Amino acid sequence: MRRGGTTIDATATPGTTTTSAAARAVGASKVYGHGDTQVTALHDVTVDFERGRFTAIMGPSGSGKSTLMHCLAGLDDLSAGKVYVGDVDLTTLDERRLTTLRRDKIGFVFQAFNLIPTLSALENITLPAALAGREPDRAWLDTVIATVGLGDRLTHRPSELSGGQQQRVAVARALAGRPDIVFADEPTGNLDSRSGAEILSFARQAVDDLGQTIVMVTHDPGAAAYADRVVFLADGRIVDELADPTAERVLDRMKSLEG
């Protein structure tokens, strides 16, 4: 169930390598500051994230994993190199186009503070569509809501929801617009283990049943084990990769990286 064969693996289709990735970074570098205080967060990173797959990015703190995700998601800009979402080179977009790209092509799940407190759960879920002035796809919305199991909570405000329920709303929002890719930044970091497991199962389900592409930054090997593939970062470089991870194998790799 976790790694169902129904996923559409674009890499399997020959001759379409440029469009096969939902997102990719090519020679991506990110430098903060100038002169003596200069810090290199990303160092010539090239990586693809295939469609329909669930990828985890791992690494010790300061490894650049969040920076990579922020750059891939159009929240931060690169010092050198390129990042693509689909065929679109993010480095060529102005601020307005980046915003609409985030709205229409990307879904987000953050660690905390994912929801607008003044809007109901349903309004939060349909927020990107509302910002675009579009009616949400009703049937798809129902599917997503059913998947995350929020049916009776839709009219509640975030303050009336538990942490786990809030993250489920966030996941539903990320999926509701059928984005090309969903970026999740430590989505279970603030949750107890049961709620965390729930969220990760939904993510898995979204990939398996709905064909969604998900990239998740995490430092939790248990969470990474839900992914199809784990990319390891250290000192701003990709240092390792693991397919079909389990928590133990991820932990081993992490230990070797930190050791």
CB of 174 to other proteins, least distance (A): 9
Q: Cα separation of 155 and 94, whole Å?
A: 36
Q: Cα separation of 41 and 200, whole Å?
A: 28
Q: Cα separation of 211 and 194, whole Å?
A: 25
Contacts of 89 (CB under 8 A, 6+ apart): 82, 83
CB of 101 to other proteins, least distance (A): 8
Name which of 69, 71, 46, 48 is nearest 57 in CA terms: 69
Contacts of 69 (CB under 8 A, 6+ apart): 57, 183, 185, 215, 217
Q: Which is nearer to other proteins, 36 or 95 (CB)?
A: 95
CB of 236 to other proteins, least distance (A): 17
CB of 225 to other proteins, least distance (A): 26
Q: Which is nearer to other proteins, 66 or 213 (CB)?
A: 66
Q: Which is nearer to other proteins, 67 or 165 (CB)?
A: 67
Q: Which is nearer to other proteins, 82 or 157 (CB)?
A: 157
CB of 214 to other proteins, least distance (A): 16
Q: Which is nearer to other proteins, 76 or 235 (CB)?
A: 76
Residues that bind other proteins (CB under 8 A): 70, 73, 75-76, 95-96, 99-100, 102-104, 108, 110, 113-119, 123, 127-128, 130-133, 173
Contacts of 126 (CB under 8 A, 6+ apart): 136, 141, 173, 176
